[in-house]
């Protein structure tokens, strides 16, 4: 791939943790159509896994064809707002499964995917319309923004994190062999789900959302601290990969420990440059092993399975998958 920006840092054992500098305020939208709608599904393809329950949470599970006869690792796949019933998300999970991972894709939204979830039509050129047409389009956009804001209010960090903790806890029982094979749990996330890779990869003060969570994990355990101080928990994953994250703030970087690779979009309004650069700066200063690759000329959401006519986007999609796969395989 051409014109990409790559930054890799190795951790040092005696690093001093610092806090990230505050990112400038931004009025950018929090979700785009690529976060709430799927591209047309590749012809002739469909999900090969199954939707079941794990810890009372609906999940899509995809396994390698030779599992459990051949050892496999456990991978969480955290989706955009389109959720686990999106065929494209299922195909994405299947692709990781074909590479030797037991993939668990949890329903982060309790059966309530983002408004207007469905297939996006291929991009068509727009032509100027009448004032009434323009008014109707603006009204529809305003209504959609309102619906998405209401949806986001229903799916806050306080609601989503406990879902993931239940699934992680259940995975340690249901797929103990895969967790043991990988020496922990891996995670990849797209759009909405990408932010939660950062949260799962961090060490943070214990919050009410963690109540009832089992700490018998190869990757995390509570630390003994003074009685008057909150104990810390995490990281919950061994390594992570995230693609075109949305709604990330500097507070999400604090405590990050797990090595991560980031697929970023150049000039992405969903993840402004100052946020991405703030994350890079934090990881560098705190010696968190990381890799950030910026892809020019592609839309937000491009790394998720879906048809694009532009061969450059098609190539970037393949390159992004290879980047994420290589990272988790090497860690």
Residue 175 sits in a domain of what CATH number? 3.40.50.1820
DSSP state letters, 3-45: S-EEEEE---TTPPP-PPPPPPP----S--HHHHSBPPPPTT-
Q: What is the largest CA-CA distance in the chain?
A: 68
Q: Are 244 and 276 in contact (CB under 8 A)?
A: no
Examine residue 90 and state whether it is found in any structural domain, yes or no: yes
CA 264 to chain centre: 12
Q: Are 190 and 304 in contact (CB under 8 A)?
A: yes
Examine residue 278 and state whether it is found in any structural domain, yes or no: yes
Give the pLDDT of residue 195.
95
Give the pLDDT of residue 257.
96
Give the pLDDT of residue 129.
57
d(CA 230, CA 123): 50
pLDDT tens-place values along the chain, 331 residues long: 444 444 444 433 333 444 444 433 334 446 656 666 778 888 888 889 999 999 899 999 999 999 999 999 999 999 998 999 999 999 999 999 999 999 999 999 998 877 765 554 444 444 455 655 554 444 445 555 667 778 777 868 899 999 999 999 999 999 999 999 999 999 999 999 999 999 999 998 765 554 555 443 444 444 454 544 567 888 999 999 999 999 999 999 999 999 999 999 999 988 999 999 999 999 999 999 999 999 999 999 999 999 999 999 999 999 999 999 999 999 9
Neighbours of 309 (CB within 10 A): 8
What DSSP state is assigned to residue 103?
A: E
Examine residue 125 and state whether it is found in any structural domain, yes or no: no
Examine residue 126 and state whether it is found in any structural domain, yes or no: no
The reported pTM is 0.80
- Domain span holding position 37: 5-120+133-330
Examine residue 286 and state whether it is found in any structural domain, yes or no: yes
Examine residue 220 and state whether it is found in any structural domain, yes or no: yes
Give the pLDDT of residue 143.
53
CA 48 to chain centre: 21
Nearest to 271 by CA among 239, 297, 241, 294: 294
Exposed e or buried b for every residue in 145-165, given b needs 16+ CB within 10 A?
Answer: eeebeebeeebeeeebbbbbb
Nearest to 9 by CA among 316, 317, 283: 283
What DSSP state is assigned to residue 114?
A: P
Give the pLDDT of residue 60.
98
Q: Long-range contacts for 93-97 (Cβ within 8 Å, ≥24 apart)?
A: 93/47, 93/49, 93/60, 93/62, 94/47, 94/48, 94/49, 94/62, 95/305, 95/321, 96/62, 96/188, 96/325, 97/49, 97/62, 97/63, 97/64
Q: How many domains does the chain have?
A: 1
d(CA 220, CA 166): 15
Per-residue pLDDT tens for 139-172?
445 555 667 778 777 868 899 999 999 999 999 9
Examine residue 310 and state whether it is found in any structural domain, yes or no: yes
Give the pLDDT of residue 6.
46
Give the sheet arrangement for strand 260-265, strand by strand: 5-9, 290-295, 260-265, 239-243, 185-190, 73-78, 101-106, 57-62, 50-54
Q: Are 181 and 71 in contact (CB under 8 A)?
A: yes
Element holding 92 (H helix, E strand): helix 87-97
Length of the chain: 331
**The tokens of 326 are what?**
């290589």
d(CA 171, CA 66): 19
Q: Are 244 and 191 in contact (CB under 8 A)?
A: yes
Give the pLDDT of residue 114.
79
Give the pLDDT of residue 204.
80
Give the position of tokens 């959720």.
83
């Amino acid at each position: 791939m051409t014109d990409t920006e790559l930054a890799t840092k190795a951790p040092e054992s005696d690093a001093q943790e610092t806090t990230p500098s505050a990112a400038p305020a931004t009025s950018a939208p929090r979700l785009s159509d690529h976060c709430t709608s799927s591209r047309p599904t590749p012809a002739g393809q469909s999900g090969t896994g199954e939707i079941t329950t794990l810890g009372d949470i609906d999940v899509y599970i995809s396994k390698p064809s030779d599992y459990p006869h051949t050892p496999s690792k456990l991978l969480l796949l955290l989706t955009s707002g389109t959720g686990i019933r999106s065929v494209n998300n299922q195909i994405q999970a299947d692709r990781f499964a074909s590479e030797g991972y037991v993939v668990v894709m949890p329903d982060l939204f309790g059966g309530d995917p983002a408004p207007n979830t469905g297939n996006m039509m291929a991009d068509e050129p727009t032509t100027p319309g009448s004032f009434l047409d323009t008014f109707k389009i603006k009204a529809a956009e305003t209504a959609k923004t309102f619906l998405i804001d209401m949806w986001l209010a229903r799916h806050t960090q306080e609601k989503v994190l406990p879902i993931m903790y239940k699934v992680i806890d259940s995975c340690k029982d249901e797929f103990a062999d895969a967790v043991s094979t990988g020496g922990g749990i891996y995670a990849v996330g797209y759009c909405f789900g990408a932010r939660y890779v950062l949260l799962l990869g961090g060490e943070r003060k214990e919050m009410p959302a963690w109540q009832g969570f089992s700490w018998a994990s190869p990757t995390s355990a509570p630390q003994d601290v003074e009685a008057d101080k909150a104990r810390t928990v995490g990281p919950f994953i061994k390594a992570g990969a995230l693609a075109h994250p949305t709604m990330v703030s500097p507070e999400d970087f604090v405590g990050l420990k797990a090595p991560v690779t980031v697929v970023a979009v150049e000039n992405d309004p969903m993840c402004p440059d100052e946020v991405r650069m703030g994350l890079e700066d934090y990881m560098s200063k705190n010696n968190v092993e990381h890799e950030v690759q910026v892809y020019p000329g592609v839309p937000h959401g491009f790394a998720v399975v879906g048809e694009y006519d532009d061969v450059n986007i098609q190539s970037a999609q393949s390159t992004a998958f290879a980047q994420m796969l290589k990272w988790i395989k090497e860690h």
